[in-house]
Copies of this chain bind each other. A is one copy, B any other.
Amino acid sequence: MTGNFQTRLKSAASATEAALVRLLTDTPGTHPWPERLLDAMRYAVLGPGKRLRPFLVIESARLFGATGEGVARVAAALECIHCYSLVHDDLPAMDDDDLRRGRPTVHKAYDEATAILAGDALQTLAFAVLADPATDADAAVRLTLISGLATASGAGGMAGGQMLDIVAEKQRLIAEEIRHMQAMKTGALFRYACEAGALLGRASAEKRERLTAFGAEFGLVFQLADDLIDAEGATETAGKATAKDAGRGKATLVGLDGAAAARRELRAAVERAVDILAPFGAHGSVLADAARFAGRRDG
């Protein structure tokens, strides 16, 4: 079953990357996109990566029988948002990272101005993609996808979580505040990934909520694993500089409660995620394996 998960993960990454290449090749509009900007956007989204969020879109959609180009486009749009946030987060004024997935960050490979603009334009591209009829024939579905992505990625979601994360470097947060911050910063996009897939598959409201709940648990698993990797991992394994959270005063549950408690919480979250999928039986096994994988990933 884990073998099946790895195959599906690779397949989702391929479909997403193919969609991203198409979106960054046949660019729309009357004006050609400036070469340097387009290059930086490609560099930002086409580097190595497991494409976990796109995978969740694609597998959530598949659970309800939806496959194909439209699903891959939504996966690609979400990856554009995720990658824009990485580009901006890596900037000197933010996390000041020179390395991302083993490669120079965008502002290192290009320059800061180009990185800011590439991030901005990737966000715009995500909404352009979702608004296009090629994504879904149903206008109401496209609008729900757009509203959902805006909620998940804006001031009440990812961007807001990043703001709280920065504020937290200067003031000690309690566990509940850290959970809240992480649910916005990391959790919101994972929730959205699963919700969007269910929406594309025309799942019932009850099943869509179930997938959204799974996405939330998945996000928690991912974040706890990420924090544990940072606290314990080596740069070599993680493909990025580690043990930086503590040095920066970043708020994490690992920092607050210790690694043992975080590991217990991680295991509980994986169990909850798997339980949520129980009603789908064997059909849910790939997503369940994904949650298990996210809890023990090494990079």
- Cβ-based interface call for A163 (8 A): yes
Contact with B along A33-45 (1 / 0, CB 8 A): 1101110010000
CB of A155 within 8 A of CB of B116, answer no
Interface centre among A29, A30, A91, A113, by most chain B C-beta atoms within 10 angstroms, is: A113
Q: How far is the CB of A240 from chain B (nearest CB, A)?
A: 19
CB of A31 within 8 A of CB of B116, answer no
- Which single residue of chain B is at the shortest CB-CB distance from A24? B155
CB of A147 within 8 A of CB of B131, answer yes
CB of B34 within 8 A of CB of A167, answer yes
Q: How far is the CA of A242 from the CA of B91 in the complex (A)?
A: 28
Residues of B within 8 A of A160 (CB): 31, 33-34, 37, 121
Besides the known contacts A93-B112, A117-B166, A124-B155, 14 further A-B residue pairs in the complex with CB atoms under 8 A apart: A28-B151, A28-B156, A29-B151, A31-B157, A31-B183, A94-B113, A94-B116, A117-B159, A119-B120, A124-B153, A127-B146, A128-B151, A131-B146, A139-B143
- Interface residues of A, Cβ cutoff 8 Å to B: 27-34, 36-38, 41, 84-85, 88, 91, 93-94, 107, 111-114, 116-117, 119-121, 123-125, 127-128, 131-132, 139-140, 142-143, 146-147, 150-151, 153-157, 159-160, 162-164, 166-167, 180, 183-184, 188
List 5 A-B pairs, minimum CB-CB distance, nearest first: A29-B156, A93-B112, A124-B154, A128-B150, A121-B155
